[in-house]
């Protein structure tokens, strides 16, 4: 295989400390083992922009732009153009120009677009250039679900976004050589929605950095304190995470505290919105905000919980907790797509009452909780190494010859 790769992602893949960046970071590292990679991406803030030098260590060339379009402007523009608001939010003439220049000046033989909002930066390509669209999640289905469960203006906006984004996703799928999703469940939903052949819509699962998320590794410890400690990790300005912790703090935790009055619930994650910060006023609820190293909180947890009601794809937070050998109680939505056994490698609970019952049962049986954690770690080692989940990427991009040539 000869030729370069153009990789477009909606956030700079550094640091890999949130779900979308974790996947894009490992994709970029794997792509760089296959061929020189030219990376076009956005930074959300000064912190993101400060990682340009880290990106330069991996990329053959790069275009890192500050995303400065407001939601209001994106919304009005999207409505005027009958365009997805998500796509409108991630638009920038500078990136369109850089992509055109890169395709004209570099020997690019494959383009990888990460997440639906980056697809509109991919122009018509030469016949010898392959296009892999990594949708990651079936985003339009998420917005449709928001619209179905809500009311008022936001519900209308979400229903519109679900429809318009689905049309866009179908259009992109029609021109891509292959489309990938984070799980087979997501891929199957998209196949059903767009009616395209199975050979073009595949799953590239997330993995977990097992050497980093290792209970025997060296990392700063967190004082466990008195009473059971339950932990949730995630970006805390992301709606599904916000709804999950609100439900657990207000409904599940009080039921647990009837048996374990000292039980505490730690919400660990960056950018907690006001609604999340307000949960700290409830008995036993801790809101940490961003932490330098989430492993200390995971290691300190008696149980890690993932009570998401709307979730797409594979949840990194669940993989990381399992890799840290912690017992996990997850909703069916958070567990979907993870190849692990309910009852032996993690526990699945469908509602606050089930969550409380299963957490209380685990706290009463520390030996079983420990067995769950050990089995979880073994499952991650057997199934979810990034080197295994991304093993088929060269073949998907360039055919079978590339797989043997790649490092």
What CATH number is given to the structural domain containing 81? 3.40.50.2000
Q: Do 272 and 376 belong to one domain?
A: yes
The whole-model pTM stands at 0.87
Distance CA 153, CA 143 (A): 14
Where in the sequence is the domain holding 53, given as residue range(s)? 4-207+387-398
Count of domains in the chain? 2
Q: Do 70 and 186 belong to one domain?
A: yes
Which strand (E) or helix (H) includes residue 200? none
Residues of the chain with pLDDT under 50: 401-407
Q: Do 307 and 250 belong to one domain?
A: yes
Distance CA 198, CA 326 (A): 36
Distance CA 189, CA 267 (A): 31
Q: Do 132 and 246 belong to one domain?
A: no
Domain assignment of residue 215, yes or no: no
How many residues are recorded in the chain?
407
Domain assignment of residue 394, yes or no: yes
Q: Can you name the residues that pair with 133 across neighbouring β-strands?
A: 113, 179
Strand pairing of 178-181 and 37-43? unpaired
Q: Are 57 and 139 in contact (CB under 8 A)?
A: no
Q: Do 297 and 379 belong to one domain?
A: yes
Distance CA 310, CA 365 (A): 30
Q: Do 257 and 173 belong to one domain?
A: no
Q: Do 196 and 277 belong to one domain?
A: no
């Amino acid at each position: 295989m000869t030729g370069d790769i153009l990789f477009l992602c909606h956030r700079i893949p550094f640091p890999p400390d949130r779900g979308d960046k974790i996947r894009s970071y490992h994709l970029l590292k794997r792509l760089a083992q296959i061929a020189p990679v030219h990376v076009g991406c956005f930074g959300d803030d000064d912190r993101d922009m400060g990682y340009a030098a880290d990106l330069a260590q991996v990329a053959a060339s790069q275009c890192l732009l500050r995303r400065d379009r407001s939601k209001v402007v994106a919304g009005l523009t999207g409505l005027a153009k009958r365009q997805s608001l998500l796509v409108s939010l991630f638009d920038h003439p500078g990136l369109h120009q850089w992509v055109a220049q890169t395709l004209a000046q570099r020997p690019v033989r494959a383009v990888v677009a990460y997440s639906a909002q980056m697809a509109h930066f991919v122009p018509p390509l030469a016949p010898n250039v392959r296009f892999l669209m990594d949708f990651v999640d079936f985003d339009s289905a998420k917005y449709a679900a928001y619209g179905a469960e809500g009311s008022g203006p936001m519900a209308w906006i979400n229903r519109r976004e679900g429809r318009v984004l689905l049309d866009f996703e179908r259009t992109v799928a029609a021109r891509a050589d292959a489309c990938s999703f984070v799980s087979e469940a997501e891929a199957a939903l998209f196949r059903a929605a767009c009616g395209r052949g199975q050979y073009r819509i595949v799953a590239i699962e997330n993995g977990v950095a097992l050497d980093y998320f290792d209970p025997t590794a060296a990392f700063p410890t967190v004082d466990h304190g008195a009473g059971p400690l339950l932990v949730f990790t995630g970006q805390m300005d992301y709606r599904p995470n916000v709804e999950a912790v609100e439900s657990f703090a207000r409904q599940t935790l009080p039921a647990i505290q009837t048996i374990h009055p000292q039980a505490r619930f730690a919400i660990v994650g960056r950018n907690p919105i006001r609604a999340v910060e307000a949960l700290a006023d409830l008995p036993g609820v801790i809101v940490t905000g961003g932490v330098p190293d989430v492993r200390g909180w995971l290691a300190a947890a008696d149980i890690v919980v993932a009570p998401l009601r709307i979730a797409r794809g594979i949840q990194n937070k669940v993989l990381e907790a399992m890799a840290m050998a912690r017992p996990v109680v997850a909703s069916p939505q958070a567990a979907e797509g993870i190849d692990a056994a309910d009852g032996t490698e993690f526990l699945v609970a469908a509602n606050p009452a089930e969550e409380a019952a299963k957490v209380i049962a685990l706290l009463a049986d520390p030996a079983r909780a420990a067995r769950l954690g050990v089995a979880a770690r073994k499952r991650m080692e057997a199934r979810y190494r990034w080197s295994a989940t991304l093993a088929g990427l060269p073949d998907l991009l360039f055919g079978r010859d590339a797989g043997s040539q790649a490092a």
